[in-house]
């Protein structure tokens, strides 16, 4: 395949994926489309009976050749676009899939390399809800890997167009949802109940007194507070709250969670009320392997030029990609940040970017595979 044909195939694939977004755990047609692309390029393909997503193994594994994973996320967001609620690819996952397929097609056009590389192309569902990586980990998709690389488009404020960063240092994110359980009372008889609005307000104020090391970015805030009904002469006994936690490191997230749970426990005791945790979940901060980061940096310098390689990017956003290294600490992993003039921002319903950057992403990931493949496999 010549360069023009490859370019056109990448762009047409992006347009197809962009026009057919699917929500988390609903990526059925996307899975089938990717599966066909993997099979057509000679991959050994695996799908899953209990979830969407697909992997394709390319090349030939051996005792000396390291197995390299390349991960792309698949799901879209549900949001209002031009007055209509719909699935929408506003986080760049359509671009990530197109880039990773472009890498496969580029490698497939290098037959002399097929016995010298072993690559697992991982198309992961449900990144937006933070659970897709954990599901694929349960399926063992990274058990045999020596390296794992990802890529993500970056807003123009973080990484300028034409530049790339060898690691995205995402922060940890966590959410705690809870219910205040009690009985309603007549507005004239406040002594008969604990006002759930007062209890919730106490929680809000107590959270604002939490302070950790100020040199490490962190925040905690209430993002949902529902209480009361249509009648204004009823003192509500029940309320629901959601609390959003952010911290740049996993250590500080653990400290933050501990303090939030202490607030909820002490509030129960103070008001002699019942507070029930209904949901708590989150994704970890990045744990970047220095060897993987070095390979990514060298790949950027070789593919697009040393002057276009930026330092690792620290960002408060999150990605469930980092579950792979949390669950498999020996896995050498990093995620490339790709500058592409992305604006107005990730998750904006009308997000746009320079499509030519897709080709930069393909060149970088391809070079990364070639560099990592030259490193002899370390035997445990």
- What b/e string do you get for 68-95 counting C-beta neighbours within 10 Å, with b at 16 or more? bbbbbbbbbbeeeeeeeeebbbbbbbbb
Q: What distances in angstroms separate CA 253 from CA 79, 250, 283, one per listed residue?
A: 29, 5, 10
- Rounded to an integer, the average pLDDT of 167-193 is 97
What confidence category does residue 317 fall into, taking pLDDT thresholds of 50, 70 and 90?
confident
- Rounded to an integer, the average pLDDT of 209-219 is 95
- Cα 92 from Cα 352, distance rounded (Å): 9
> pLDDT digit string (tens) for 67-122?
999 999 999 999 999 999 999 999 999 999 999 999 999 999 999 989 899 999 99
Predicted local distance difference test score (pLDDT) of residue 352: 98
Beta-bridge partners for 338 = 153, 164
- Cα 186 from Cα 220, distance rounded (Å): 34
- Rounded to an integer, the average pLDDT of 318-336 is 97
Predicted local distance difference test score (pLDDT) of residue 138: 98
How are beta strands 313-315 and 168-170 bridged, if at all?
parallel
Q: What distances in angstroms separate CA 21 from CA 7, 112, 195, 324, one per listed residue?
A: 22, 36, 44, 25
What is the overall mean pLDDT for the chain? 96
Cβ–Cβ < 8 Å for 315, 170? yes
Please report, for the chain, how many H helices and E strands are present, in that order: 9, 17
> pLDDT digit string (tens) for 26-43?
999 999 999 999 999 999
What DSSP string runs through 57-99?
EEE---SSSPEEEEEEE---EEEEETTEEEEE--SSHHHHHHH
Predicted local distance difference test score (pLDDT) of residue 61: 82
Torsion from C-alpha of 195, 200, 206, 210, nearest 10 degrees? 170
pLDDT at 309 over 90: yes
Q: What distances in angstroms separate CA 46 from CA 74, 93, 98, one per listed residue?
A: 16, 20, 19
Select from 213, 223, 273 the least CA-distant residue to 243.
223
pLDDT at 175 over 50: yes
Q: Name the more confident of 245 and 378.
A: 245
- Rounded to an integer, the average pLDDT of 206-234 is 96
- Cα 148 from Cα 139, distance rounded (Å): 16
- In this structure, whether the domain defined by 3-170+286-373 belongs to CATH 3.40.630.10 is answered with yes
What confidence category does residue 380 fall into, taking pLDDT thresholds of 50, 70 and 90?
very low
**Domain residue extents for the chain:** 3-170+286-373, 172-283
- Cα 325 from Cα 44, distance rounded (Å): 24
Reduce the DSSP state of residue 242 to 3 states and report it: strand
Cβ–Cβ < 8 Å for 282, 173? yes
Predicted local distance difference test score (pLDDT) of residue 379: 52
Write the CATH number of the domain with boundaries 172-283: 3.30.70.360
**Over pLDDT 90: what percentage of the chain?**
94
Select from 119, 12, 73, 111 the least CA-distant residue to 335.
73
- Burial class of residue 22, CB neighbours in 10 A (0-12, 13-18, 19+): buried
What is the Cα Rg of the chain in Å? 24
């Amino acid at each position: 395949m010549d360069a023009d044909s490859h370019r056109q195939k990448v762009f047409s694939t992006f347009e197809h994926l962009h026009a057919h977004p699917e929500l988390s755990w609903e990526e059925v047609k996307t899975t089938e489309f990717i599966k066909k692309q993997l099979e057509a390029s000679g991959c050994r393909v695996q799908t899953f009976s209990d979830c969407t997503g697909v992997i394709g193994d390319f090349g030939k594994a051996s005792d000396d050749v390291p197995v390299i994973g390349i991960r792309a996320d698949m799901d879209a967001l549900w949001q209002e676009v031009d007055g209509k609620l719909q699935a929408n690819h506003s986080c760049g996952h359509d671009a990530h899939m197109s880039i990773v397929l472009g890498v496969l097609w580029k490698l497939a056009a290098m037959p002399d390399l097929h016995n010298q590389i072993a690559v697992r192309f991982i198309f992961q569902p449900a990144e937006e809800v933070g659970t897709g990586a954990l599901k694929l980990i349960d399926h063992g998709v990274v058990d045999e890997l020596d390296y794992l690389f990802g890529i993500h488009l970056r807003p123009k404020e973080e990484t300028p167009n034409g530049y790339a960063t060898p690691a995205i240092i995402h922060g940890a994110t966590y959410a705690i949802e809870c219910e205040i359980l009690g009985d309603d009372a007549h507005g004239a008889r406040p002594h008969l109940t604990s006002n759930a609005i007062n209890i919730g307000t106490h929680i809000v104020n107590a959270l604002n007194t939490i302070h950790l090391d100020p040199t490490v970015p962190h925040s905690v805030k209430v993002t949902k507070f529902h209480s009361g009904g249509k009648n204004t002469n009823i003192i509500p006994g029940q309320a629901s709250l959601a609390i959003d936690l952010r911290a740049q490191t996993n250590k500080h997230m653990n400290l933050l969670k501990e303090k939030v749970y202490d607030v909820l426990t002490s509030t129960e005791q103070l008001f002699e009320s019942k507070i029930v945790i209904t949901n708590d979940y989150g994704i970890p901060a990045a744990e970047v392997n220095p060897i993987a980061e070095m390979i990514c940096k060298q790949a950027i310098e070789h593919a697009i030029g040393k002057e276009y390689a930026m330092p690792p990017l620290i960002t408060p956003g999150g990605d469930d990609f980092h579950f792979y290294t949390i669950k498999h600490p020996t896995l050498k992993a990093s995620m490339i940040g790709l500058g592409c003039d992305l604006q107005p921002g990730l998750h904006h319903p009308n997000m746009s970017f320079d499509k030519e950057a897709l080709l930069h992403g393909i060149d970088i990931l391809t070079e990364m595979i070639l560099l990592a493949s030259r490193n002899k496999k370390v035997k445990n």
